[in-house]
Amino acid sequence: MRSPACQSRGLCAEGPLERLTETDIAQPAVVATSLAALALLENEGAVKPAAMAGHSVGEYAAYAAAGVLDAESALRLVHARAQAMAAACRTVDGTMAAVIGLDEAPLRAACEAVSRDGSSVVVANLNAPGQLIVSGARDAIERLRDVAKAAGARRILPLNVGGPFHSVYMQPAASALAEAIRATVFRQADIPLVLNASAQATQDPQELRHELEVQVYSPVRWIESVQRLAQLGCDRFLEVGPGEVLAGMVRRTLPDVKVASFGSLADLASAAALIEG
SS (H, E, C) 90-135: CCCCEEEEEEECCCHHHHHHHHHHHCECCECEEEEEEEECCEEEEE
List phi, psi (to 5°) of 216: -60, -35
In residues, how long is the chain? 277
How confident is the model at residue 100, as a pLDDT? 97
Q: Are 48 and 22 in the same domain?
A: yes
| Domain end call among 131, 163, 195 | 163
Return the pLDDT at 44: 78
The confidence score (pLDDT) of residue 8 equals: 47
What is the structure's pLDDT at 264?
A: 87
pLDDT at 124: 98
pLDDT of residue 19: 57
- Residues serving a catalytic function are 56, 166
> How, if at all, do strands 131-137 and 155-158 pair?
unpaired
Which of 163, 189, 222 is a domain's end point? 163
pTM score, two decimals? Answer: 0.91
The whole-number pLDDT of residue 222 equals 98
Q: Tell me: do 190 and 265 sit in the same domain.
A: yes
Torsion sign across C-alpha atoms 232, 218, 17, 79:
positive
> Does one domain contain both 64 and 177?
yes
Q: Give the chain's residues under pLDDT 50.
A: 1-6, 8
Picking from 163, 194, 219, the residue at the C-terminal end of a domain is 163
How far are the Cα atoms of 23, 144, 255 from residue 52, in angstroms, in the given order?
25, 34, 19
Domain residue limits at 139: 94-163
